[in-house]
Amino acid sequence: GAVVSQHPSRVICKSGTSVKIECRSLDFQATTMFWYRQFPKQSLMLMATSNEGSKATYEQGVEKDKFLINHASLTLSTLTVTSAHPEDSSFYICSARPPGGPYEQYFGPGTRLTVT
């Protein structure tokens, strides 16, 4: 149980275009999902907390107009990187937290974004 998927696993896009990454909880409903960014050989940096049916909460320094998050259902959250630039190239990982606690998060396999 507690499986989280991400799609695509790898994407290459041109500078200036937008790309959407999907995060799905497959066998549980997730009222809260999280989006992280991970640079090579570094830890995870929380970008935003996504709550179903409401606006995402972004961490300080994360541009909300650049990283659009939508959590339209209890099993799906999407991250759209708008007007991508090469510096947005990174490994993006989502996680989902089952409702009612306790507080462990289950992680997706990640999406490798390369902006050329």
Partner 1 sequence: AQSVTQPDIHITVSEGASLELRCNYSYGATPYLFWYVQSPGQGLQLLLKYFSGDTLVQGIKGFEAEFKRSQSSFNLRKPSVHWSDAAEYFCAVGASGGTASKLTFGTGTRLQVTL
Instruction: Output Rg (C-alpha) for the chain, integer angstroms.
Output: 13
CB of 19: closest distance to partner 1 in angstroms?
Answer: 18
Q: Does 46 bind partner 1 (CB under 8 A)?
A: yes
Q: Does 109 bind partner 1 (CB under 8 A)?
A: yes
Q: Does 98 bind partner 1 (CB under 8 A)?
A: no
Candidates 11-19, 69-77, 81-89, 99-107 — which segment interacts with partner 1 by CB under 8 A? 99-107
Within 10 Å of residue 31's Cβ, how many Cβ atoms? 17
Residues 50-89 that bind partner 1 (CB under 8 A): 51, 57
CB of 7: closest distance to partner 1 in angstroms?
Answer: 13
Which one among 84, 93, 113, 115 touches partner 1, defined by CB under 8 A?
Answer: 93
Interatomic CA distance for residues 6 and 8, integer angstroms: 6
**Interacting residues with partner 1 (CB under 8 A):** 4, 6, 32, 34, 41-44, 46, 49, 51, 57, 91, 93, 95, 97, 102-110, 112
